[in-house]
Each structure stands twice: as C-alpha cells, then as structure tokens.
Structure 1
C-alpha cells in the first residue's frame, strides 16, 4: 500500500524553519546576525495551522503559527504564510535504523587490496617533524 507524504509544515509539533527577518523585525535581525540577517534561518515548532478563504476571490490562505528559537533563551511566536515556512527533516534518532551491513563485505574502505578494512592511504597526513625546518 503506498504511503502518502504529509506536509510537515501542517503538522502540529513538527520542526520548521523560516528566515529571521520574517520572524522578527529587520533591525533586530540585523543586530543579532549582522550581514547574514537576510539569509539566516531560525528553527521553530508548529503550534497551529489556519486556512482561511477570501470570500471575494475564493482563494485560500494558509498561515502557520510557530514558536521560533533565537538562542539564549529568546523565543518568538509568529504567524507566517505557509510559503515562508520550510519543513525540517525529522531527527535521525526518530528515524528507523539503517539496514545492517552484509557479513561478506569488509568494513571501512572499498580498497580490494586491503581486506582488513583499515585505511592505508595516509598521504594527506603530515608527520610531526615535517615542518621542523622553520625554526
């Protein structure tokens, strides 16, 4: 039976993210994040979702009310249009575990010359005395 993917932005308690300038004023976002204020994403939790229909145009508008965490114990509750809110992938701890590896395949590298699975290619690691000539 096929599963239907649910839009996580519409699920109460789901994790979402939005731009900081959408959640708070532009001046506060600039004070907190400086030059990154227009691109900084803040994470939040969905509290409620509301869909309203405009009677004159018959178009629906969906708003997401979420509580966003700015760090340092500062949280803000904001109502945003669903187009400004992005879903966040669920935590890895809540996902199902990955399938176990086949016992016939060695672990570690894909190097067929080294069946033990240990990494024998350490060319990028400098020896401790490699830079001793700069005294």
Structure 2
C-alpha cells in the first residue's frame, strides 16, 4: 500500500512556487506582527477593538486566529487552510472598517487578496481534504 498522494499540496511550476512562497512569507510577516500586537495588548489595538464594541476578548481571539493562520500559511501542507482562514478574517476586517470603525479598508483588502491567492494556489490540498471528509 502506498502512502503517497496523487494530490500535491504545493503549486506546480517554478513560477507558481516562487509566487506562493513570496506571498506566504509576506502574509505571515504581516499577520505575525498584527496578531502579536493584538495579543500583547498594544494600546492602538486595544483602542480599535474598543471602537468595535464587542469587547477585548475579541481582540485576543482575533490575534490568536492571525498568529495561527500565519504559522499555518508557512507550512506547505496547511498553506491552503491558513490562507482561507486569514482571507475570511480579512473579509470581515474590511467590512468592519467600512461599516463600524471607519478608516481605510485597503490594507485588509490587500491582505485578503494575498491570502486568497495563496489558498487558490494550494487549492488541490483543499479539494483532497474535502474528498477525504466527505
């Protein structure tokens, strides 16, 4: 019985691989910094989540999601899942900027596009996981 899978979690081709790693490292750096700031209780982050009005527990949860997603996006086997988690997070961050706290949603939209692209580049691992689960 073979333990190898016919579905590769990494994108094919050198160009796709370079693009994937570049986007993954950029996203991981951004989310480790932002998530770490939220978890550390940086005053600016505390103020932003005060404006949102849900409570500081939401800052901690968001910071944890960002740090977990940043680590996941760097691991080839979980890059698609990390990208998807972070893309969904940035979708809601953009909506929060547009409808709750104001300010520019552009950074969240850019990070949404980056993380969604990573997830798309690694979509074969998502498909394989859904086939195994179903």
Which category of TM-score, normalised to the shorter sequence, fits these structures? under 0.3
Looking at both structures, which has the greater relative contact order when contacts are Cα pairs under 8 Å and sequence separation is at least 6? 2
- Over alpha carbons, which structure has the higher Rg? 1
Q: Which has the higher strand share?
A: 1
TM-score, length of structure 1 as denominator length: 0.26
Could you tell me the TM-score, scaled by structure 2's length? 0.26
